[in-house]
Amino acid sequence: MGTSNTKYRSNRYRAVESGSEKFSLATIIGKFSDRSFASISSVRTNYSVSRPWSRVSRRGWRESTLNNPLECVKTAWPVPLIEAVFLPNFKLCFKTFKTFKIVKPLAKGAFGKVYKVLKIDSQEFYAMKVLNKSKIIEENCVAQVKDEVKIQSICGHHPFIIDTPHYWQDRSRLYIVSKFMEGGDLFNLTEKCGTLPEDIVRIYVAELASALDFLHNAGVIFRDLKAENVLLDCDYHAVVTDFGLSKWLRYGEKTTTICGTLAYMEYV
């Protein structure tokens, strides 16, 4: 009796499977559909190539029980957590060094390095910041990095604020590409030239005040203004950069944290 029941269940499953393979919503929709693009068999076929799966999800997809057509709706999550936490700000891209060529390193920070790069198609120079995603997550700075890119991309059209036209991520790193400033930074200028003439200082103060006023009107506080964060373009005009400690504020909102560079902070 046990054997006969097994055969019955097996034959019944094959019948259901055969019927499922032929089932299509086109039989219900009728004249409103000329072809079957909602059949269960087509879903099972197209789903495996419709989007780029990650390495982990591909393995899970192969090992899942997709022999049963009713299981095709149970898909593996396509994006690993280390990539998902930076979406949608940082889009996925795996062709970094086919688009940009590293010229030389410029600086090193807590989460990564900054390089001078050449954009191959336009032959223009940029500054590329390469950040380690694992370190950012460990330090709980995901929101901080996402805000930094958002502020620079939205406010970068101001003449005295750095523009960030490109930013993306791959499996382990974030890439933030900004315009390359040929004049270096204000700190190196003062180290090289010493005390600047008063007329030049007035120009720099006016340019920085214009940038900060623009940010404040946009609801952004900078919170890390220092000579190292003021770049100089080819004409030696000031450009504010490094929005890592910047923050969006709603109208009337206040901050309660103390942040900045210790050498520039005054304790009362």
Residues forming the active site? 224
Query: CB-based burial of residue 111 (10 Å sphere; 0-12 exposed, 13-18 middle, 19+ buried)?
Result: buried
Sign of dihedral through CA atoms 240, 241, 242, 246? positive
Would you list the DSSP string of the chain? -HHHHHHHHHHHHHHHHHHHHH--THHHHGGG-SS-SS-HHHHHHHTTTSS---HHHHHHHHHS-TTSGGGGG-PPPSS-HHHHTTTTTSEE-S-HHHHEEEEEEEEE-SSEEEEEEEETTTTEEEEEEEEEHHHHHHTT-HHHHHHHHHHHHHHTTSTTB----EEEE-SSEEEEEEE--TT-BHHHHHHHH-SPPHHHHHHHHHHHHHHHHHHHHTTEE-----GGGEEE-TT--EEE---TT-EE--TT-------S-GGG----
Residue written as token pair 């970068």: 156
